[in-house]
Amino acid sequence: MLLLEQMIVLFLLMGVGFYCYKKDIITDESSKKLSAIVVNIANPAMVLTGCMGDSKIKGMELLQIALIIVLIYGALLLLALIVPKLLRIDKKSEGAYRAMTVFSNIGFMGFPVISALYGREALLYASLFTIPYNTLIYTYGVSAMSAGNKKETKGPFAWDRVFNAGVIACIITIIVYLLQLPVPEFVESTVTNLSNLTAPLSMMVIGASLATINMKKLFTDVKLLLFSAIKLLIIPVIGMLIIRQFVSNEMICGVCMVMLATPVGSMTAMLAQQYDGDYEMASKGVALTTVLSVVTMPIVSMLVG
């Protein structure tokens, strides 16, 4: 019930963004600037809150979640080869579907939901997801999107992109936590206030992006609907049933469930645009799975506990 309530809150925030875009309160330009604030300031601040407070997590549990993350991304990379073939996706859109299978919206939606459900200490677990995520999205993601076109793709692995503000915040969080470094109260207060911007701003940006999509066409794409069912229901449910066989820690299970059940990440559309992938399909995938996730995430939670 708590997850359903949280998803309703996020959906209402998306509605505010949708309304603001329609009324020209949010424009394409201001939406990009809001997104930059979330990506470079608010979301990294939310990650940093994971090492603050009195709650402590045992080292073995950190190692356990790290191993689970490696296995999750290994499985997703394998599924990225299977799902497009299973759905008989056109060659033009295959790269987009491969990227959409692997990369979810773990930052904009995953972190706010985890923070609301399990508290900021759970963000320490969640932050570990972003390190392989950012590494893969600038390597595998670029490769998937640029496959089959003549776009120059030399040097896709850019260290300045991989070690962005989010990943640096993750590394700082883990170091501060493991070394038990003291955090001044004024720093903690500043970081906490900045982190509180993440959910409202990110959901408003997503809502504004939905205002540019033809919803009627969005819900008539059969293959995309089938993909959404696989992405939002089948993968997280089966994944969690397997994880629960080996993991008893409810917080770790909860973090994994949210990370697996989140919709397609907006970065897939950005990569498609930059590397001549199927930008239209990637944008539709982000929009459709975002809308459907408001319903599917509570369903996944009920099915896997």
State the DSSP string of 165-193: HHHHHHHHHHHHHHHT----HHHHHHHHH
Q: How far is CA 8 from the centre of its chain?
A: 18
Task: Kindly tell me the burial class for residue 290, based on how many C-beta atoms sit within 10 Å of its own C-beta (0-12, 13-18, 19 or more).
Answer: buried
Model pLDDT, residue 209: 81
Q: What's the CA gap between 30 and 22, in Å, rounded? A: 13
Q: What's the CA gap between 300 and 258, in Å, rounded? A: 9
Question: Look-up: residue for tokens 């089948």?
Answer: 234
* CA-to-CA separations, 178 to 52, 62, 130, 162, in angstroms, rounded: 12, 10, 18, 23
Three-state secondary structure call for residue 264: strand
Model pLDDT, residue 276: 78
Model pLDDT for residues 240-287, shown as the tens digit of each residue: 999 999 988 888 999 999 999 999 987 788 778 777 788 888 888 988
Model pLDDT, residue 58: 65
Average predicted confidence (pLDDT) for the chain:
84
β-bridge partners, 264: 104
What average pLDDT does the segment 84-90 reach? 93
Q: Which sequence spans correspond to the domains of the chain?
A: 2-299
- Token code pair at residue 7: 């998803």
Model pLDDT for residues 110-139, shown as the tens digit of each residue: 888 888 888 877 887 888 888 788 778 878
Res 20 pLDDT > 90 = yes
CATH, range 2-299: 1.20.1530.20
Model pLDDT, residue 53: 64
Model pLDDT, residue 243: 94
Which residues make Cβ contacts (< 8 Å) with residue 242, sequence separation at least 6?
none
Model pLDDT for residues 139-190, shown as the tens digit of each residue: 888 888 877 565 544 454 555 556 667 778 878 887 887 787 888 999 989 9
Q: What's the CA gap between 21 and 238, in Å, rounded? A: 37
Least confident of 51-65, 208-222, 255-269, 287-301: 51-65
Smallest CA-to-CA distance from 192 within 180, 181, 183, 204 is with: 183
Q: What's the CA gap between 44 and 190, in Å, rounded? A: 12
Question: Look-up: residue for tokens 């640029």?
Answer: 146
